[in-house]
Structure 1
Amino acid sequence: MFARGETIIQLMERLAPKHYAVPDDKIGLQVGSAAKPIGRVLIALDVNAEVVEEATKIGAELIIAHHAVIYRPLAHLRTDTPAGALAASLLRNDIAVYVSHTNLDTADGGMNDWMAEALQLVGREVLEEVHTDQLFKLVVFVPQTHQDKVRAALFGAGAGWIGNYSHCSFNTEGTGTFEPREGTDPFIGKQGKLEHVAEIRIETVVPQSVRKAVIAAMLKAHPYEEVAYDLYPMDLKGRSFGLGRVGVLDTPESLDQFAERVKSAFDVPFVRLVGDGSRQIRKVAVLGGSGGRYIRHASFAGADVLVTGDIDYHTAQDAEAMGLAVIDPGHNAEKIMKAKTAEWLQQQLKEKGYTTEIFASQVNTEPFKLR
C-alpha cells in the first residue's frame, strides 16, 4: 500500500517540525498536491530541470527538497522564464515539491547533526539557539487495571523526559466517579448508575514537539469512551534546538589535516581555508549552508575552526582577525541530506507497512567548477 502525500509530509514534520524553522523561511508544500497516493519519492538538495527530469524518469510523484523551489516572490508565471518553465514542468508531470529547510537544519538528528557526525565530532552542542521546546504537564485519570498500558503509550510517544531522565511520571491512587447517561457505551458501569472506580492519576511532562502524538497515543491506549485529562503549560525550560553544532575531535589535528577530513566527509573536491595550515584543531563548529554570519558565535563558543559555506572576503578577514580558522566546503556540502533523509524516511514508511519507495537524487547541483 502506498502512503499518501499527507502521510509522508507528516513523517517529515516529525523529523523536522515546521516550527523549528527560522522566521519567514520558505518551507512546506510549494508545488502541486499531497492529496494523492505516492509510489515514489525523490530526495534532493535543490530542484532544477535535471532533478525534475530525474524524478520523471523514476516515476516520482513527490520531491522532498532542502532548498526552496520558490524562494523569491514571483511577479508572474511565464513559461519563457527559468522559474516559470520549472514550475510548468513540475505541474505537467504532476510532481509535487515539499521543502524542509532550516527546520531540518535545526532538528535533532537533522542536517547539522549529520554534518557533525560525518566529521566525527563528540560532545556536540547547539551553536545558535533557534527554538526551545515548551513543556506541558499532562494529567490523565486511568483505571488501575490499565495504568501500565497508558503509561507505556505516553512514554513511547515521547512523554516523560526531564533532562536525560526518561519515563518520568508521578502516580496517585484515588477514586473516580461518573454516571453513564443515555447513548453512552461505558467500559465500566451501567447507564443510569453512579460508579465509583479505583483510578490512578498519572502526571508526566510533554514537550510541545510531540504533544499531538502523545495525546493521540494516550487516547488510543485508554479504555474509557470519554477520557478525563488536563494539559497545561509549565515554566520549566525544555530542550533547545538551533542552527549549527559545536563539538570536539577525539585527537587534535592540524588545520590542513582537518581540511582533508572535511573534503572526504562531504565528498567535495576542494575547500577554501582561512588560517595557518599547521595550526592544531580540537574544537570545531559546523553549520550547513551559508554560515558567515555565525563566525562570532563560533568564536564565542571557543571553536578553533568554523566549517561552513559561502564565506565572503570581508568575513574571512574578520575571522582571521579574531583568530578563528575557517574551512569553506561550499553550500553544496549539504547534499549529505539526500541519502540521510532517504534512509530515515524509508525506514519510517517500512515500519508502518507502506510500500512507497524513497530515492536519493543522483544529480549534482553544484554550480561551481574549478579550472
Structure 2
Amino acid sequence: MANGNHVIQLFDEFAPKHLAVEGDKIGLQIGTLNKPVHRVMVTLDVLESVVDEAIERDVDLIIAHHPPIFSALEQVNDRSAAGRIVMKCIRHDIAVYVAHTNLDVCEGGVNDWMSEALGLVDPTVLIPTYEEPVYKLSVFVPTTHRQAVSEALGRAGAGRLGDYGDCQFTVSGEGQFTPLEGSDPYLGQHGKTEHVEEVKIETIVTESQKKRVLKAMTDAHPYEEVAYDLIRDDIEGRVFGLGRIGRLSTPLTLAAFAEHVKASFGVAAVRIVGDPNRTIEKVAVLGGDGNKYVSAAHFKGADVYVTGDLYFHVAHDAMALGLSVVDPGHHVESVMKQGVVDVMRQKGERAKLDVEFFVSEADTNPFRFY
C-alpha cells in the first residue's frame, strides 16, 4: 500500500499538470491524497454509476479524464447527481483526481493512443500548445569527482541534443573559497582561503528533467554547497500539443476508412463528411470535441479529420475546405482507461508500490444507435 500523494506524483511524471490548457479543471477534485491507497480505478467519466462501482470494488482513488466538477456547484446534496457523487465519494473515502487536456497533450497520452489505434505512421503534433524550456547547466567540480558528477548527469538524462545523448563540455581552472564559521567543508579549514583544481562541466537540461538532474548532481558532488548556473537557452525544446497528424500505411477510400475507424474504436456507427470514394492517406485525429481545429487539420494537409461532437455548421465549413471528417463520437477517448492502467502498472512496479490499477467497467457512453 502506498500514499496517495506518491501515486499521483508518479502519474504527474507521465501527464504533468503544466501541459494542460489554461483554465482546464484538473487535479484533485474530491477527497484527499494524504492517505494510504491500495486500489486505483481509471475511468473516462465520473458518473454516479462509476462511483457505485468504485464503492463495490473497494477503490481508494479514481483517476478520471473528464472532470466531474467542471463548473461551480451551488449546492452539494442528494437531490442532484453531482451532489450524490461528491457525497458518496466523501462518505466512502474515495479521492477523485482528474487529468484532462494534460493527458491529451502528453507524449504517449490520449491522442497518441488514438493514433496507435488507427495505425497512423509517423504521427506529429497537430496543434502546438507548449514548447518545453531548455536550460544550460554549468557546475564546478573538483577534478577528483569529475567522472562521478559527469556520469550522474548523464544517467539523469542531461545532455540530450537531437539524436545525441550525454553531450557535455568541460574546461579546467582553479576554484577558490573560504569556509566560514558554521560550515562543514569537504576541503579546507575555517577562515582559510582554499585553492582547488576544478573543472566546469556544461550540459543542457529540459524543464521536465531539471529537478531530477539537479538532485543527481548534488548527490554525486562532494561539496557542502554546490556552485552551479542554470540559464534558459534558446535551443528549441520538445513541442507538445493537441491532436496528432500522420498517414496511413495503405491509402483507403473514405468509406473504407470509416469502417476502419469503427473497428479501431469499437463503435457501432460513425458520421462522415465528404465523398465516400475519396482517397484518404493523411489523417488528423483529435480526441473529444475538435470543432475548433477543423482549419488546423486542413492547414496541415489532412485528407480526413477524426474527431467527436461535430457541429452542423462546422461540417459545412469542412466541406467548403474540401476536408473529409469522420466523427466516431466523444466517447472513443475511453482508450485512455487501459492506456493509463498500463502506464501506472509499469511505474508502480518500478517504484515497488503495492497498488492495484484497473479499468472501470461501467459504460458511460450516453448514446445508443437504432
State the TM-score, normalized to the length of structure 2.
Answer: 0.95
Q: Does 1:280 align with 2:279?
A: yes
Distance 2:47 2:216 in 1: 40
**Aligned partner of 2:355: which letter?**
T
SS at match of 1:342: helix
Quote the residue 2:28 is aligned against.
29
Query: CA offsets, 1:201-237, max 9 Å, x none?
Result: 1111122233222222222232322211111212333
Distance 1:355 1:303 in 2: 45
Distance 1:216 1:54 in 2: 41
Quote the residue 2:146 is aligned against.
147
Of the structure 1 ranges 27-36 and 177-186, higher mean CA displacement relative to structure 2 is found in: 177-186
Distance 2:220 2:329 in 1: 49
Contact 2:152-2:217 at 8 Å conserved across structures: yes
SS at match of 1:257: helix
Contact 2:268-2:369 at 8 Å conserved across structures: no
Query: CA offsets, 1:244-291, max 9 Å, x none?
Result: 011111221111222222222222222111112221111000001100
Change (3 A) 1:203 1:281: same
Distance 1:145 1:254 in 2: 66
Quote the residue 1:45 is aligned against.
44
Quote the residue 2:292 is aligned against.
293
Please report how far the alpha carbon of residue 73 of structure 1 lies from its aligned counterpart in structure 2 after TM superposition. Answer: 1.4
SS at match of 2:146: helix
After TM superposition, the structure 1 = structure 2 runs for residues 127-276 of structure 1, keeping only pairs within 5 Å, are 127-276=126-275
Distance 1:156 1:70 in 2: 41
Change (3 A) 1:331 1:229: same
Identity of aligned residues (%): 50
Change (3 A) 1:230 1:88: same
Query: CA offsets, 1:129-185, max 9 Å, x none?
Result: 111111211111123333333233333333222333322221212222233344433
SS at match of 1:130: strand
Distance 1:158 1:148 in 2: 16
Quote the residue 2:344 is aligned against.
345
Distance 2:200 2:176 in 1: 13
CA RMSD between the two structures: 1.7
- Structure 1: gaps of 5 or more residues: none
Query: CA offsets, 1:295-347, max 9 Å, x none?
Result: 10000000000011111111112112211111111111001111111111111
SS at match of 2:185: coil
**Aligned partner of 1:62: which letter?**
L
Distance 2:268 2:188 in 1: 72
Distance 1:118 1:357 in 2: 25
Change (3 A) 1:237 1:331: same
- Structure 2: gaps of 5 or more residues: none
Please report how far the alpha carbon of residue 57 of structure 1 lies from its aligned counterpart in structure 2 after TM superposition. Answer: 2.1
Of the structure 1 ranges 147-156 and 271-280, higher mean CA displacement relative to structure 2 is found in: 147-156
Distance 2:266 2:197 in 1: 62
Distance 1:146 1:114 in 2: 44
Of the structure 1 ranges 73-82 and 84-93, higher mean CA displacement relative to structure 2 is found in: 73-82
SS at match of 1:306: strand
Distance 1:122 1:87 in 2: 42
After TM superposition, the structure 1 = structure 2 runs for residues 113-132 of structure 1, keeping only pairs within 5 Å, are 113-132=112-131
Quote the residue 1:312 is aligned against.
311
Of the structure 1 ranges 257-266 and 347-356, higher mean CA displacement relative to structure 2 is found in: 257-266
Change (3 A) 1:360 1:150: farther
Distance 2:155 2:270 in 1: 43
Change (3 A) 1:327 1:228: same
**Aligned partner of 2:115: which letter?**
A
Distance 2:40 2:358 in 1: 6
Distance 2:304 2:48 in 1: 36
Distance 2:263 2:251 in 1: 17
Quote the residue 2:355 is aligned against.
356
Please report how far the alpha carbon of residue 191 of structure 1 lies from its aligned counterpart in structure 2 after TM superposition. Answer: 4.6
Quote the residue 1:66 is aligned against.
65
Of the structure 1 ranges 2-11 and 103-112, higher mean CA displacement relative to structure 2 is found in: 2-11
Distance 1:50 1:180 in 2: 64
**Aligned partner of 1:144: which letter?**
T
Distance 2:86 2:100 in 1: 19
SS at match of 1:350: helix
SS at match of 1:336: helix
Change (3 A) 1:266 1:188: farther
